Structures are given as C-alpha cells and as structure tokens.
C-alpha cells in the first residue's frame, strides 16, 4: 500500500480565496516544461462533476454506476460515487495513483493531514487571521506577498514567483531530471 512517506509529495495550504489553484496551475506548467511528470490531488468540499449532463459518462454514472472510467487517446478519468459518504484520506488516494508514474505529486487541500506543505498567505485575504503554520508543524515553507514574521525553521518564498516555488519543490523533494 502507498504511504505519504514514500511519495515525492508536497501540498499547498491556505485560506479560501488565496489563489491555490492558480498557483498550482502555474507551478505545474513550469514543472512540465522541465520534463517532470506531475500528478495533482485536489480536495473538494462540495458536489462536483467532471462532465456535463447529457454526456454519456455523466448519464451512465447517474443511472447508478458506482465507477465510471472514460478513456481516449488524450486522457482518462475515473469517477467513483461515494455511496456510503465515506471520504477517502490522502493515503487512500495515493494508493489509486500507485500504478501511474509521477515524479511529483502536488496536493491542494487536506490541510488537516500531516505531510509536507507550503502555506500560501496573501495579505488581502489573511489580514487578521493567524498563519496556519503557527499550529501545523508539517508546513515547511510560507509563500507570501506580505512582510510578515514566520517561524525561523520555515523557508520564506515569494507567492508571485512561481519559478522560485517550483525550484523549491524540486530541491525539497530531491527530484532530478
């Protein structure tokens, strides 16, 4: 079984509206251009669909299929209905990725779980809120646009410098290309 410890894995934790998804898209693009194979696991707090009503995969899933895997020469996607409302933990999702080659796994969300994370902090979103790193010892760096005091053991990064963040990830995870 896969565990967090044996994966080249790093996450992003931040308050809603900080720009986690935008930053991840930029970092993924940089890593891809450097020939890294990147997988992303994103936690969603609400109901979502990857396809639209009227599409075959959507209609088959809505008819009662617990698993709907759709594949083409360009991509594949697996939709699984959690009929028992049992939300998977990060380790469970990493097990699903076991047969997929990835150099780096980026995680958005799962901030309550213990694995290496970069905290994202924007002054206009976080004003008046405590840094997550004050209470989460699995945070290894803080990427911010503010002049704030962070713990001495954390690395400070520029939240608007995507290349710097990508390089930090490569160095922290010790992945070579």
Q: What would the pLDDT profile of 13-57 be if each residue is shown by its tens digit?
A: 999 999 999 999 999 999 999 999 999 999 887 777 788 889 888
Of 123, 149, 124, 118, which is closest to residue 136 (Cα–Cα)? 118
Query: Please, which pLDDT band fits residue 1 given cuts at 50, 70 and 90?
Result: very low
Q: If you average pLDDT over every residue of the chain, what do you get?
A: 90
According to the model, what pLDDT value does residue 136 have? 96
Domain extent listing, the chain: 4-46+87-173
Q: Which of 106, 112, 69, 93 is nearest to 3 (CA)?
A: 93
- Superfamily grouping for domain 4-46+87-173: P-loop containing nucleotide triphosphate hydrolases (3.40.50.300)
40-120-2-33 Cα dihedral, nearest 10 degrees: 40
Position 3 pLDDT exceeds 70: no
| pLDDT tens-digit series, residues 78-132 | 888 888 878 889 999 999 898 888 999 999 989 889 999 999 999 999 888 999 9
Q: Which residues contact 115 (CB under 8 A, 6 or more apart)?
A: 4, 9, 10, 11, 90, 107, 138
Name the nearest CA neighbour of 148 among 159, 136, 135, 163: 159
């Amino acid at each position: 079984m896969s565990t967090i410890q044996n994966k080249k894995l790093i996450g992003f934790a931040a308050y809603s509206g900080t720009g986690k998804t935008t930053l991840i898209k930029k970092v993924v693009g940089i890593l891809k251009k450097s020939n890294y194979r990147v997988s992303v696991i994103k936690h969603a707090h609400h109901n979502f669909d990857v396809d639209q009503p009227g599409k075959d995969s959507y209609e088959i899933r809505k008819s009662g299929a617990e698993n709907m895997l759709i594949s083409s020469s360009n991509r594949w996607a697996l939709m699984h209905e959690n009929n028992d409302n049992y939300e998977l933990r990060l380790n469970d999702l990493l097990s699903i990725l076991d047969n997929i080659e990835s150099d780096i796994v980026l995680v958005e969300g799962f901030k309550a779980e213990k694995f290496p994370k970069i905290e994202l902090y924007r002054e206009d979103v976080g004003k008046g809120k405590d840094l997550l790193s004050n209470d989460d010892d699995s945070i290894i760096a803080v990427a911010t646009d503010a002049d704030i005091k962070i713990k001495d053991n954390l690395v400070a990064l520029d939240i608007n410098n995507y290349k710097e963040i990508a390089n930090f990830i490569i160095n922290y995870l010790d992945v070579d290309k």
